Amino acid sequence: MSDLPKSIRITEEGPREGFQIEPGPIPTQRKLDLIDALANSGLKHIQITSFVNPKKVPGMADAEQLVTDLKPVEGVHYHGLWLNEKGLQRALASGKLHLEGKVNMYPSSTFLMKNQGCTQAQYRETAGRLIQMYKGYGMLMEKGSISSAWGCNFEGGFSPSRVVELVADLIALGNEHGVSIKTVSLADTMAWATPLGIKRTVGAVREKFPDLRLSLHLHDTRGMAIANAFAGLEMGVDLFDASVAGLGGCPFGKHKGAAGNVCTEDLVLMCNEMGIETGVDLEKLIDAAQLAEDIVGHPLPGSVMRGGSLQSLRNQLH
Amino acid sequence: MSDLPKSIRITEEGPREGFQIEPGPIPTQRKLDLIDALANSGLKHIQITSFVNPKKVPGMADAEQLVTDLKPVEGVHYHGLWLNEKGLQRALASGKLHLEGKVNMYPSSTFLMKNQGCTQAQYRETAGRLIQMYKGYGMLMEKGSISSAWGCNFEGGFSPSRVVELVADLIALGNEHGVSIKTVSLADTMAWATPLGIKRTVGAVREKFPDLRLSLHLHDTRGMAIANAFAGLEMGVDLFDASVAGLGGCPFGKHKGAAGNVCTEDLVLMCNEMGIETGVDLEKLIDAAQLAEDIVGHPLPGSVMRGGSLQSLRNQLH
């Protein structure tokens, strides 16, 4: 009937995405409480902070303090985000994080010009320098990503063949710099994907690059994230970014922008009930989602945190 | 890749489900404003009210007034709900509604005993009398439904074969009473379904009864409704109940119960973008969803009403 994977690996993005967007300030210890709750639920990859300009993103000004105070749970990989070399150096200096190099490609030349002020050719040179930089720091460098792979608000929708082209270029760029791209994240950054679009683009990329591992990063701005995740699972995708309680967007409050990633506990419930291993204790994750809502102080869009797990209902029956 | 239908038909349940659950009182004219907005968006089947005991459901006490004041849009079928013969007589007397007979089956004997105080065998007799009653009133009687087809909080999950058994019994019951059941609605009343479960159960029923038309009624209590709808589409299902703005549940407010049906405008966007006709003008439907939120006075769970359509973005690009 489909190609569902036996297990998936989730990278939790809630703490970083969520606390970045909140007006705050959120005490560092409260952030750590959530990070600990997530680690104790069984999530093995958690993005916990951004090393960005504290003047531009005040909510992330405590990045170093947060990592200093973090008491790592064994076996959990704590990730951080950076946007430039200075941020990377701060992330490296923090000492406890799992840091890997990654290069992005952008289907939209309009977006590149507006956002980064460069052409595709110029951007490609920048990306090459990034790879060299990661190599210089001795970091693992085998990941790439395609931003807005299904469409963007500057150019509209992108065809599967356009994405295949970019993935090919990403691999070529890696080869030119002596690195082998093994995993590519396809990001639905601006929520243009539908489940059928997921199947077509993932299918096209897999057909061309059968050995490449694919990851999905799915924003829920148009309510499609969980259906898109299911379509990805049906195509055998086993790496997903997700966000506890749907942190990272608050469509019910003042934030009018994009919604967060697919809700982690909703994704875990779907997988649990379809026999796909996640390694996550759903009840503990629901507790973490409720904690997230308590920390931000307003409703978050997750469903299972309100509807409850099916396993808890089954347990009550027996 | 799949069996996606060319077009689907949506039965809008928002006005009835939504206004039933709201603490109210909501003025009849406001309800009519929403119903008109829905009809003008292109929806052809709208459930507008319930003929139930006004003492038990005060929000539906204006059922007759609402139908009297309704100015029907040509080609739109306005539906009503009833729970007993008295309610049916009120619905029939109102004159403007599209009324058809329908009998339900319940996989859970525990639920039947708790909720209706009868055994399966006793319930079957009641259902037979219902069919006779609908025939007596000269109503079309060719629909059935299976409540909680994927599981219920009283007995747990139900296997596809249990549902096939009940559908067979429903058809047999019809035959015994001289009616032919042509459409069966599979209802995920208590939100136990996953997309894989949808595929298995729909697949099992279709295999056994290839000529039966299937309809899905999907509650979103665990955030699975849109993924479940996609799974249904992949199995060729072309009839869906849905609820504008996700009316019928308010997981962000005081209502702790089940969430509403799959959100109509989210379903329409998914279909539009996958090339499946709905006959609905999404922009007008988004306006209706925003009106629904304004009427109930609190956030509703729909996504597209906040994230916007992709077509409106495309239009801005050209």
Domain boundary among A168, A195, A212: A212
Predicted pLDDT of residue A255: 40
Residue A180, Cβ neighbours under 10 Å: how many?
9
Residue A69 lies in a domain: yes
Q: Count of domains in chain A?
A: 2
A100 within 8 A of A139, measured Cβ to Cβ: yes
- CA angle, residues B148, A230, A250, in degrees to nearest 5: 90
Q: Which of A197, A212, A227 is the last residue of a domain?
A: A212
Contact criterion met (CB < 8 Å) for A151 and B304? no
Distance from CA of A308 to the nearest CA of B (A): 7
User: Is A117 within the bounds of a domain?
Assistant: yes
> Mind telling me how many Å the CA of B230 is from chain A's nearest CA?
7
What confidence score (pLDDT) does residue B2 get?
64
Integer Cα distance of B200 and A108 in angstroms:
40
Q: Residue A165 has what pLDDT?
A: 97
Nearby residues of B80 by Cβ (< 8 Å), 6 or more positions away: B16, B47, B48, B49, B50, B51, B63, B67, B91, B94, B97, B99
Ranges of H-type helices in chain A = 14-21, 28-40, 63-69, 85-94, 109-116, 120-136, 160-176, 195-208, 225-234, 264-273, 282-296, 304-307, 310-317
Catalytic positions of A are 250
Whole-Å CA distances, A25 to A29, A37, B134, B257: 12, 20, 63, 33
**Could you tell me the mean pLDDT of each successive run of 10 residues in chain B, 318 residues long?**
88 90 87 98 97 90 96 97 93 94 95 91 96 97 97 95 98 98 96 98 98 97 97 98 87 58 98 98 98 92 94 91
Would A302 be classed as within a structural domain?
yes
Token match 């279909």: residue?
B271
**Can you tell me the distance from the alpha carbon of B29 to that of A233, in angstroms, rounded to the nearest whole number?**
46
- Are A205 and A161 in contact by the 8 Å Cβ rule? The answer is no
Same domain assignment for residues A74 and A117: no
**Cβ contacts (< 8 Å) between B8 and chain A: which residues?**
none
Residues on chain A touching B194 (C-beta within 8 angstroms): 270, 273-274
Residue A218 lies in a domain: no
Q: Do A270 and B229 touch (CB under 8 A)?
A: no
Q: Identify whether residues A92 and A109 lie together within a single domain.
A: no
Judged by CB atoms closer than 8 Å, whether chains meet at A314 and B270 is answered as no
Distance from CA of A273 to the nearest CA of B (A): 7
Chain A closest-CA separation from residue B266 CA (Å): 6
A199 shares a domain with A266: no
> What is each CA distance from A298 to A244, A246, B50, B281, B294, in whole angstroms?
14, 12, 34, 33, 20
**pLDDT confidence of residue A23:** 78
Q: Looking at the domain assignment, is residue A54 inside a domain? A: yes
CB contact under 8 A, B223 and A313: no
Q: Are B119 and B81 contained in the same domain?
A: no
Task: State the pLDDT at residue B20.
Answer: 81
CATH of the domain at B200: 3.20.20.70
A25: confidence class by pLDDT, cuts 50, 70, 90 = confident
Lateral strand order in the sheet of B183-188: B77-82, B45-51, B9-12, B239-242, B213-218, B183-188, B140-146, B100-105
Among B152, B250, B263, B271, which one carries the catalytic annotation?
A: B250
The β-bridge partners of B214 are B184
Between chains, do B259 and A303 touch, taking CB under 8 Å as contact?
yes
Catalytic residue list contains B152: no
Residue A240 pLDDT exceeds 70: yes
pTM of the model: 0.96
Mean pLDDT (chain A) is 94
Beginning with the edge strand found earlier in the chain, give each strand of the sheet holding A183-188 in spatial order: A77-82, A45-51, A9-12, A239-242, A213-218, A183-188, A140-146, A100-105
In sequence order, the 6+-apart residues with CB closer than 8 A to the CB of A194 are A150, A224, A227, A228, B270, B273, B274
Residue-number span of the structural domain to which A205 is assigned: 100-212
Q: How far is CA A196 from CA A49, B99, B124, B224, in A?
A: 33, 36, 41, 17
| Confidence class for position A249, pLDDT limits 50, 70, 90 | low
Q: Are residues A104 and A162 in the same domain?
A: yes
B116 and B68 share one domain: no
Nearest residue on chain B to A155, judged by CA atoms?
B317
Same domain, B64 and B11: yes
pLDDT given for residue A288 in this prediction: 98
Top-confidence residue, B116 or A168:
A168
Q: According to the model, what pLDDT value does residue B249 have?
A: 64
Q: Are residues A193 and A272 in the same domain?
A: no
Establish whether this prediction's ipTM goes over 0.90.
Answer: yes
Residue of B nearest to A256 (CA): B306
Q: Is residue B227 part of a domain?
A: no
Q: Is residue B224 part of a domain?
A: no
Q: Do residues B200 and B129 both lie within one domain? A: yes
> Are B292 and B303 part of one and the same domain?
yes
Check residue B254 and give its pLDDT: 41
Q: Chain centroid to CA A307: how far?
A: 24
The answer to whether position A204 is within a domain reads: yes
Of B197, B258, B304, the CB nearest to A222: B304
Using CA coordinates, name the residue in chain A closest to B311.
A156
Q: Which helix (H) or strand (E) holds B144?
A: strand B140-146
Helix (H) or strand (E) holding A239: strand A239-242
CB contact under 8 A, A269 and B222: yes
Of A153, A258, A303, the CB nearest to B223: A303
Q: Which pLDDT band holds residue A2 (cuts at 50, 70, 90)?
A: low
Q: Check whether residue B115 and residue B184 sit in a common domain.
A: yes
Judge if B125 and B90 occupy the same domain: no
Which pLDDT score is estimated for A252?
46
- Report the interhelical angle of A282-296 vs A264-273 (nearest 10°): 160
Judged by CB atoms closer than 8 Å, whether chains meet at B226 and A224 is answered as yes
Per the listing, tokens 């086993």 go with: A238
pLDDT by residue (tens digit) across A52-98? 999 888 889 999 999 999 999 999 999 999 999 999 999 999 889 99
